[in-house]
Structures are given as structure tokens and as C-alpha cells.
Amino acid sequence: MSRIGKNPISIPSGVTVTVEENLVTVKGPKGTLSRQYRPELDIVIEDNSILVTPNGETRLHRSLHGLTRTLINNMVLGVSIGFTKNLELVGVGYRAAATPKLLTLQLGYSHPVEIELPEGIEAKVEANTKVSISGIDKQAVGDIAALIRSKRKPEPYKGKGVRYSDEVVRRKAGKSGKK
């Protein structure tokens, strides 16, 4: 059995989990998430915790066991506390502005880069160069943050670009002129 999959998922107060057929629905103070799961797994709710168990011992069962447990845990955490990714814009003239459905970035191109935010994702801009992406779905938050970063990745010589706040950019020395 999977070491991760064996761990029970504790359900915090204010969160309700329902399992029907092959669908898990999690409701909490921040919203509702639901996800289909494979029939090779059994999901049982007992004593304010969720247990995921495989129906067999094949390689597929073992791999789905830990994955499904982690996905359900992310759903529980998302509806109770939410997820956030922080990005920094490094460069002269790089700045951001946010409206409820649109994030506008100035990244050194001749035109502004506009990113439409999907439902359930919120962007906040602090100090023009710090962007925080938040939402209840961990995968959606990570996808939008990666999309924003892909518009201008950090370059290794001057370090300019969009980076995660905890990312370390390895710098290169560059050319040295004749002496």
C-alpha cells in the first residue's frame, strides 16, 4: 500500500464531505469542490476522517491510491483555508494591475499582456510588482501562476522577469571584456 494513501484525511469543522457513486463533493466556508474518482478505489468516511483504500494490489491500484488521497486532501484544504501563489515582477518598468476578471501586465513588450482569470481565481496586486493568485482549487491556482510566469521567465544574466516569490534564480557571470 501507498505510504501517503494509508494516512487518513481529517475533516475540519465547517467542512462536509459526501461520497456518491464515483464522485466526492467537499463543501466548506470558501466554496464547493467535486471530483470524480476511479472505481478501483473505495472511499469511506468514518469518525470525522476520510479513508481511501484500493480494491486490489496491481501497480495501477497502488499509484491511484496515493494520488486520490492527495487530491481529496487538497480539496478539503482548499475549501477550508484556500491556496495562494505569490509572484514578483523584477525589471525596470515591469508592473501589474488587476481587475476582478483581468490581470494586466507590463513586461517590457510593446504591448500590455492581459490574462483573463477563470472563475474562482482571484488576483491581488501589492506595490505594482507583487502579484498574489488565490483560490480554492490548488491545480487552477498553480496553472494560472505558471501561465503568468511563462509570459516572461526570469533570465539568468540580469534576473529580470516574472518569478515565484520563493524562487531562486541562478545568475550567470556574463561576458568579460578584453583587458
- pLDDT tens for residues 33-47? 999 999 889 999 998
3-state secondary structure of 112: coil
Q: Which three cell numbers stand for residue 100?
A: 476582478
pLDDT per residue over 62-119, tens digit each? 889 999 999 999 999 999 999 999 999 999 999 999 998 999 999 999 999 999 999 9
pLDDT cut 90: percent of the chain above it: 77
Query: pLDDT grade, residue 5 (50/70/90)?
Result: confident
Phi, psi of 167 (to 5 degrees): -80, 140
d(CA 113, CA 103): 8
pTM: 0.88
d(CA 125, CA 112): 16
pLDDT for the residue numbered 177: 66
Q: Residue 123: enclosing H or E segment and its boundaries? A: strand 121-126
